[in-house]
Structure 1
Amino acid sequence: MKEIYEPKFVERLFDNMSSSYTKMNYITSFGFSERWRRQCVEEIDIEEGKVVVDLMTGMGECWKHILKNSDSNSQLIGLDFSSGMINRAERRKLKFSDSNITLLKENVFDNSIESGSADCVISGFGLKTFNDEQLVQLANEIDRILKPSGKFSLIDVSVPKFRILKPFYMFYLKNIIPILGKVFLGSPETYKMLGIYTQEFGNSKNVYDIFKKANFEVEYIEYFFGCASGIKGVKK
């Protein structure tokens, strides 16, 4: 399973999914993905005039929530290494012509964001594509780019802990989603990977343990009976 966490593998996967990812994400989460993104952003109460970094920004699905309280002094930096995702984020950027948005096609572990420059860091649905070693790197990178007292909030889909809900949820991820992938992309194997990543990921408790060891005060959060989970915190 080690190869599924290789950056080139993940990059190709999301390039292939980029044409249908937003629609599929909405369908496969029963419409909850949009709500979870909003909740993730609202966890840290982003104020006016702040520099916000949206890691693994995808198509910019979190932007409307991030920019809700923005002003002329606010800045949003979206980072993703998938060309397909960045190209669609560029189109979405046109809808926010009054906002200061910078897009970076870069790897999260090798990026040009200045150290200590961000007030807030957000990431929606990117955690599951990292193994433990990469999550340690992610914690270190967020520590690097955040200002002292800077805030972060991260979320991803998870395996629910309730015995009644879990088998139905996993059957849906492993069997129904690949069928939908065939409908939208003609490739069930591409979307089958989302189920594999989610099963391997489990939930954000391991992310919590890793970030707790870094220079952060951190809190673990579950959404809708554990179908999504995440962490939020502050840099000490």
Structure 2
Amino acid sequence: MHFGFQTVTEEERREKIYQVFENVAKKYDVMNDSMTLGIHRVWKDILVHKMNPCPGTLLLDVAGGTGDIAFRFINYVRSVRQRQLQRKLKHHQNLSWQEIFESYQKDEFNSLGDSQVVVCDINREMLKVGKQKAEHLGYSEGLSWVLGNAEELPFDDDKFDVYTIAFGIRNVTRIDLALQEAYRVLKPGGRFLCLEFSHVSNPLLSRLYDLYSFQVIPVLGEVIAGDWRSYQYLVESIRQFPPQLELHTPPSLAASLLTCPHF
């Protein structure tokens, strides 16, 4: 097993990764913005647009402790729901204003159309930060938080329409077990969407990327989060993670792997 460039046991890897995210949780969002110049937000937007959820979708977001995917999912579904309500009102021109108002109020109360997103993360501190963000930003409807391991999810079979994991699968100790669990909890025909960092194929860009990764990111980690070692690990973990084509998923799992060429 690898922890960055170190060779460790499975249990040591789990413990060390848990400690990394416990250390970086409070500065996680600030560091993501600093390291990617805000581009991680665009990648996450693309993931949710690719998902294209409709009202009624049940989403499981794994390793999503700070809520970025969950909040985008809620915003997206609300937007779709709003357009549906507007079209519905156009088809009820012959109703009285009272009837239109009552119908609109009834539908508006359920602004997500029974959609739900469950954020599952193994790290208590990351979940704590996510819950605080949700409260601050006003997200409550259709959102729940569960402490759980991607390798042994605390959910029934065939439960979710979509499973997402954004920048988290490379930190899973047994990726094969995590993929099996994803397949188990997804409904037949469910979708697996994975957003993860990848390798740079262009030699020149690869050298620049390495220079930025190893010389700049740990320094940012020290300056902003007071934690050089955790961000050194995160850079090294990208190098140890297999390229997209080498990451195999169960054959029946409808999978999309979106890869980003930098941290």
- Both structures adopt the same fold (TM-score exceeding 0.5): yes
Rounded Cα–Cα distance in structure 2 between residues aligned with 1:86 and 1:4: 26
Structure 2 contact 196–259 (Cα < 8 Å) conserved: no
Rounded Cα–Cα distance in structure 2 between residues aligned with 1:168 and 1:221: 22
1:27 alignment counterpart: 34
Instruction: Trace 1:144-223 onto structure 2 (pairs within 5 A).
Output: 144-207=184-247, 210-211=248-249, 213-223=250-260
User: Could you tell me how far 1:159 is from its partner in structure 2?
Assistant: 2.4
2:94 alignment counterpart: none
TM-score, scaled relative to structure 2:
0.78
Bigger Rg over Cα: 2
User: Could you tell me how far 1:58 is from its partner in structure 2?
Assistant: 2.4
Rounded Cα–Cα distance in structure 2 between residues aligned with 1:36 and 1:205: 19
Structure 1 contact 116–146 (Cα < 8 Å) conserved: yes
Change beyond 3 A, Cα 1:37–1:97: closer
Instruction: Trace 1:39-54 onto structure 2 (pairs within 5 A).
Output: 39-54=46-61
Q: Deviations over 1:108-134 (max 9, x none)?
A: 122322211101111110022135xx1
1:115 alignment counterpart: 157
Which residue type is aligned with residue 124 of structure 1?
A
Secondary structure at 1:19's aligned position in 2?
helix
Rounded Cα–Cα distance in structure 1 between residues aligned with 2:254 and 2:38: 31
TM-score, scaled relative to structure 1:
0.86
Secondary structure at 1:156's aligned position in 2?
strand
Structure 1 contact 44–152 (Cα < 8 Å) conserved: no
Which residue type is aligned with residue 125 of structure 1?
F
Rounded Cα–Cα distance in structure 1 between residues aligned with 2:18 and 2:251: 27
1:17 alignment counterpart: 24
Which residue type is aligned with residue 189 of structure 1?
R
Return the structure number with greater helix share.
Answer: 2
Among candidates 60, 69, 72, match of residue 77 of structure 2:
69
The reply to whether residue 3 of structure 1 matches residue 8 of structure 2 is yes
Unaligned runs of at least 5 residues, structure 2: 79-111
Which residue type is aligned with residue 60 of structure 2?
V
Rounded Cα–Cα distance in structure 2 between residues aligned with 1:151 and 1:76: 14
Structure 1 contact 122–154 (Cα < 8 Å) conserved: yes
Rounded Cα–Cα distance in structure 2 between residues aligned with 1:144 and 1:93: 28
Rounded Cα–Cα distance in structure 2 between residues aligned with 1:86 and 1:215: 31
Secondary structure at 1:166's aligned position in 2?
helix
Rounded Cα–Cα distance in structure 2 between residues aligned with 1:108 and 1:57: 11
Q: Is 94-103 or 52-61 further displaced after alignment? A: 94-103
Q: Is 106-115 or 138-147 further displaced after alignment? A: 106-115
Rounded Cα–Cα distance in structure 1 between residues aligned with 2:172 and 2:128: 23
Which one scores higher on RCO, CA 8 angstroms, separation ≥ 6? 2
